[in-house]
Structure 1
């Protein structure tokens, strides 16, 4: 998932329309402008409770389930559109665009909210080891002692571990 954040909107002479065209030309046509900017002030135009017609049209063009509901003249709630937008962003079929000025703390809370809404942490795989090797000491008799920072999972004596999806294996010894 990708969120596009247009920074430095507080600067004089910023041409957002040209920037929008550049984004659509050089990055993707599948952008969703979540805000509008007037005189350096950011206003939301797409939220979980308020979906504009242009956003509804975008969702219908990209989500067959919502399109079927629309064509069947069924009621589609703002939450339905919002959930579809979240799913499209997760599948990299839509790219929300937000605005702000990091230096002036404009739009930062909205960016953080968007990150929480649109980007989910990867599902944890139980008992899968994730660790960083940060130090190797040479012990007597030519042995090596490795020091790991374990991020997830656990180690036990005599466990055999596959290294980074390679063909190498390591056995945990005392």
Structure 2
């Protein structure tokens, strides 16, 4: 199986359990040894002082894990409405997003804002209805909430793909999305590989939004969700083409050094490579002095970053968030 890099964003209204969900994924894939919590001030992704003080996610941080031959870059975004510009910048580099909803509160104001941003940037979405262990939880009500406020193209996959196959009901739902698929269904086509490939494509093109239920805190449904996420996501980046990338975050390290976070869209960027970008009509060419692979607040120096990967570099003095690098000339604010 071909290795692929997938950037998955975790987005939600504040307090829906987003960071706990992210920690569970990292824990299940042995990326971290123990699970922390934002409210306990010991979570892996919320390392900034403000986050520890307030017990909420303010900055979009990232974790990395390996699963089933793929490298996953996990971006945990702020759920608080005050920090949505930070979130929108992160959305622009996501391959897929997981929208976390509370099984008690359902679709909230900020969830709708998040949804609109994801639709604007055409990011495929999975829903995870969290906190099903809480008093007042009602996942069926939340699914109806999603249908009423966000999209009718949602389908509950909690009980699907248990043995790797799709139910007749799900196949029928998939078939209704496309005339060619409907013909295949009417002709009685029961090739599971065909329907899984069709489902993947519908997810990629924002025509189907899988949904699953569970509890991140109690670790209910997390392993199953991860398996399905892996099975239903696919992304291909070209390593062979010239380097292109987008800046999605700027930080300064403890020494005051400017760290530029990049999503590589094609090719490879190595230490000592020259990178070009435009700013205010002027062309800049600067040398990369370091390439860093981050996981939470820790990083290791590496020789290069490749297509589909998230990494950080030093050496770029003026490239701002949203800027296109290399052959990607178009920038987004």
In structure 1, the partner of 2:189 is 75
1:162 and 2:277 matched: yes
**Separation (CA, whole Å) in 2 of partners of 1:21 and 1:146:** 46
Unpaired segments ≥5 residues, structure 1: 36-43, 136-144
How has the CA–CA distance of structure 1 residues 25 and 146 changed in structure 2, closer, same or farther, with 3 Å as cutoff?
Answer: closer
Report deviation, 1:147: 7.2
**Separation (CA, whole Å) in 2 of partners of 1:161 and 1:70:** 50
Residues 1-174 of structure 1: pairs in structure 2 closer than 5 A: 1-35=124-158, 44-46=159-161, 49-71=164-186, 73-121=187-235, 123-124=237-238, 126-130=241-245, 152-154=268-270, 159=274, 161-163=276-278, 167-172=281-286
**Separation (CA, whole Å) in 1 of partners of 2:259 and 2:176:** 52
TM-score of the two chains, using structure 1 as the length reference: 0.70
Checking the alignment, whether the CA contact within 8 Å between 2:139 and 2:213 is kept in structure 1 is no
Decide which structure has greater strand share: 2
How has the CA–CA distance of structure 1 residues 116 and 13 changed in structure 2, closer, same or farther, with 3 Å as cutoff?
Answer: same
How has the CA–CA distance of structure 1 residues 47 and 31 changed in structure 2, closer, same or farther, with 3 Å as cutoff?
Answer: farther
Report deviation, 1:128: 1.1
How has the CA–CA distance of structure 1 residues 91 and 148 changed in structure 2, closer, same or farther, with 3 Å as cutoff?
Answer: closer
Report deviation, 1:59: 1.1
Report deviation, 1:168: 3.4
1:170 partner SS: strand
Report deviation, 1:34: 0.5
Checking the alignment, whether the CA contact within 8 Å between 1:32 and 1:96 is kept in structure 2 is yes
Unpaired segments ≥5 residues, structure 2: 1-123, 288-333
Residues matched between the structures, number: 154
TM-score of the two chains, using structure 2 as the length reference: 0.39
Report deviation, 1:96: 0.4
Checking the alignment, whether the CA contact within 8 Å between 1:48 and 1:78 is kept in structure 2 is no
Report deviation, 1:23: 1.0
- Select the structure with the greater relative contact order (CA < 8 A; seq sep ≥ 6): 1
How has the CA–CA distance of structure 1 residues 31 and 88 changed in structure 2, closer, same or farther, with 3 Å as cutoff?
Answer: same
How has the CA–CA distance of structure 1 residues 70 and 85 changed in structure 2, closer, same or farther, with 3 Å as cutoff?
Answer: same
Report deviation, 1:163: 3.7
Larger radius of gyration between Structure 1 and Structure 2: 1
Report deviation, 1:32: 1.2
Report deviation, 1:65: 2.7
How has the CA–CA distance of structure 1 residues 148 and 77 changed in structure 2, closer, same or farther, with 3 Å as cutoff?
Answer: closer
**Separation (CA, whole Å) in 2 of partners of 1:68 and 1:101:** 38
